[in-house]
A = this chain, B = another copy of it.
Amino acid sequence: MRIALLGGTGDIGEGLALRFAHDTDHEVLIGSRDPEKARDAVADYEAALEDRGVDADVKGFANEMAADRADVVVLSVPPYYAGDTVEAVADRLDSDTILVTPAVGMKGDEDGMHYHPPGAGSVTELVAQRAPDEVPVVGAFHNLAAGKLADLEVAFDLDTLVVADDADAKRTVLDLSNEIEGLRALDAGPLANAAEVESVTPLVINIAKYNDELHDVGVKWQ
């Protein structure tokens, strides 16, 4: 399968790119608004993978081109770019492309981070509204510890929650997520349940802020 990480030069994009390339046989495409930036990131990722003895198939493109070539498109962009990025790549998507969104709306103050969803109820539902009707949208990869993910030396044992209305697309993303070593994907229901999933992200940041022994926190449901 071809997995495109749009905004794949950012924190969560880097982590997912490295883990998919390291742990699976899927082809990883890095997308960026600036294709040069995407190719620079690819060079870094390939070096990190080579250090671990992995000769991975990673390529860099402009977001549109990456989306065009992929079976699964992950919108690993900041939340305020999520809607615009969907529209920028919309004509490259079709009913065979699964659009995955990990972005979360947050607002910080002196106390910590607070969940701040858009009017659609969640970023996941906003993406679903802005995506072409025939494109299945899946929410996933929201509450991961980005630092652990991006450091291939670190083994982790974390969960990711998956929400979607399209059962086949949800199954594909659940299976794909489970291929990353140490990651367990759980079903959190339809898109309407996305807000409860997204709101865990400010919480993990608050937990890291207030507990010295936990600086890059993810979650395990048990």
Contact = CB atoms under 8 A, between A and B. Distances in A.
B203 A197 contact: yes
Contacts of A105: none
Nearest to A111: B192
A158 interface: yes
Interface in A187-215: 187-190, 192-193, 195-197, 199-200, 202-204, 206-207, 209-211, 214
Contact of A221 (B114, B193, B217): B217
Given A195-B114, A199-B199, A189 B209 contact: yes
Contacts of A222: 156-158, 214, 217-220
Nearest to A185: B211
A161 B218 contact: no
Main secondary structure of the interface of A (DSSP, over half): mixed
A137 to B, nearest CB: 15
A interface, size bucket: 35 or more
Contacts of A183: none
A207 B161 contact: yes
B211 A187 contact: yes
Contact of A219 (B187, B199, B219): B219
B220 A115 contact: no
Contacts of A219: 219-222
Interface centre among A109, A115, A220 (most CB of B within 10 A): A220
B195 A115 contact: yes
Contacts of A157: 222
Contacts of A221: 204, 207, 214, 217-220
Given A114-B196, A161-B207, 8 more contacts: A109-B192, A186-B210, A189-B209, A214-B222, A217-B221, A219-B221, A219-B222, A220-B220
Interface of A: 109, 111-115, 156-158, 161, 186-190, 192-193, 195-197, 199-200, 202-204, 206-207, 209-211, 214, 217-222
